[in-house]
Amino acid sequence: MGTKAGAKLYVAEELQDDTDLNQAGFEALTWVLVKDVGTFPEYGRNEATATYDAFSGIVKGKGSNNAGDGDFIMAYDPTDAGQVQMRSRGAQRRNVCFKIEHADATGTANGDKTATMDYLRGVLSGPRSPAGGTSDFEREAYSFGNNQHLRVLPATISI
């Protein structure tokens, strides 16, 4: 078990429609590293619980699915290619794709290293400037409404 320290955020150059992507679809995108990210939004499957009061008792079931919401927050860098891409994408109405590469890379039998990858597709707005004081870095925040989450785990080694 580890922390998020060392994780990396990438933003796709291509905008997306409302169609879910599979792993190959995400991997085919062109990714740009976003530097100095300090906060990721919440993501993952979160289904609402639907409740109905029947005469025989309460009936519960799964309702709509929300893949997550929240903010990407980063230290402001006007020249970083990834942050420039984020600023451009924040004004778009189409879906934006992100890749989060976790710092849990493990070696494989052929010497390659693989890490857990989280792929996200959703709507992005921003940037906005979070509040701060004299000792705070200049930062930018982007609100993210996640429509799709796909987690790809590292390859397991069998020796």
Q: What is the pLDDT along the chain (159 residues), one digit of tens a residue?
A: 678 888 999 999 999 988 999 999 999 999 999 999 999 998 988 888 889 898 999 998 888 888 889 999 999 999 999 999 999 999 999 999 999 999 887 765 555 668 889 999 999 999 999 888 888 899 999 999 999 999 998 765 444
* pLDDT score at 107: 62
* pLDDT score at 29: 97
* pLDDT score at 3: 80
- The answer to whether the bond into 127 is cis (omega within 30° of 0) is yes
The top-level CATH class assigned to 8-152 is: few secondary structures
Task: Yes or no: say if 138 and 75 are a contact pair by the CB < 8 Å rule.
Answer: yes
Closest by CA position to 127, among listed 78, 58, 69? 78
* pLDDT score at 112: 65
Identity of residue 45 = R
Q: Give the span between the Cα atoms of 78 and 64, in whole angstroms.
A: 39
